[in-house]
């Protein structure tokens, strides 16, 4: 492992201008172009790195991933919340037939989707990031990107504009 600040000569000798780079140095001969992992094509996943190592060294690396219980916990929590509300209001369930409540919830859902929440869910952008001068940026500088906080700003501005 080499840091550019302390080993710039290594970067120059290997003709590298980006980091990180995964390279295989064979026991005999010089490394070929195929001995450098193309991260832009394969990505950073553990499976891709294990495949790269296996193709060059015949060493099988098994990747174990722990199960993700976040979806299960969220679904159980939502079910418990709904069950709790229905239990507390069991003598008066008229709020379920309130057209105004369902209308407000539908409009809020539309504002959330219009403001870019689905784009955030698909692309996974950061909440905020640092600007070039070191401050905090709430709006992305590019028209091709968006921050999570920007979604909520647009949603609340839309709600404010519509309500007045």
Convert the pLDDT of each residue in 41-65 to its tens digit.
888 789 999 998 998 888 999 999 9
Residue 42: predicted pLDDT: 81
17-38 mean pLDDT: 77
Per-domain residue ranges of the chain: 8-57, 66-95, 98-163
Residue 71: predicted pLDDT: 93
Q: Which of 7-11, 60-64, 141-145 has the highest mean pLDDT?
A: 60-64
67-91 mean pLDDT: 94
Query: Confidence band (pLDDT; 50, 70, 90) for 15?
Result: confident
Query: Confidence band (pLDDT; 50, 70, 90) for 3?
Result: low
pLDDT at 2 > cutoff 70: no
Q: What are phi and psi of 159, to 5 degrees?
A: -65, -40
Convert the pLDDT of each residue in 92-142 to its tens digit.
888 889 999 999 999 988 888 888 888 888 888 899 988 878 889 999 888
């Amino acid at each position: 492992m080499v840091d550019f600040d302390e080993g710039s000569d290594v970067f120059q000798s290997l003709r590298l201008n980006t980091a990180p780079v995964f390279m295989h140095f064979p026991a005999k001969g010089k490394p070929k172009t195929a001995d450098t992992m193309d991260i832009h094509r394969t990505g950073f996943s553990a499976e891709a790195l294990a495949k790269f190592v296996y193709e060059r060294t015949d060493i099988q690396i098994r990747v174990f991933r722990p199960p993700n219980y976040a979806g299960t916990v969220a679904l159980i929590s939502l079910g418990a919340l709904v069950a709790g509300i229905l239990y507390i209001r069991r003598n008066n369930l008229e709020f379920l037939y309130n057209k105004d409540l369902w209308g407000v919830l539908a409009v809020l859902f539309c504002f959330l989707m219009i403001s870019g929440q689905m784009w955030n869910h698909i692309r996974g952008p950061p909440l905020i990031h640092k600007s070039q001068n070191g401050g905090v940026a709430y709006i992305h500088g590019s028209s091709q990107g968006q921050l999570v906080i920007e979604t909520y700003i647009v949603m609340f501005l839309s709600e404010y504009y519509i309500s007045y």
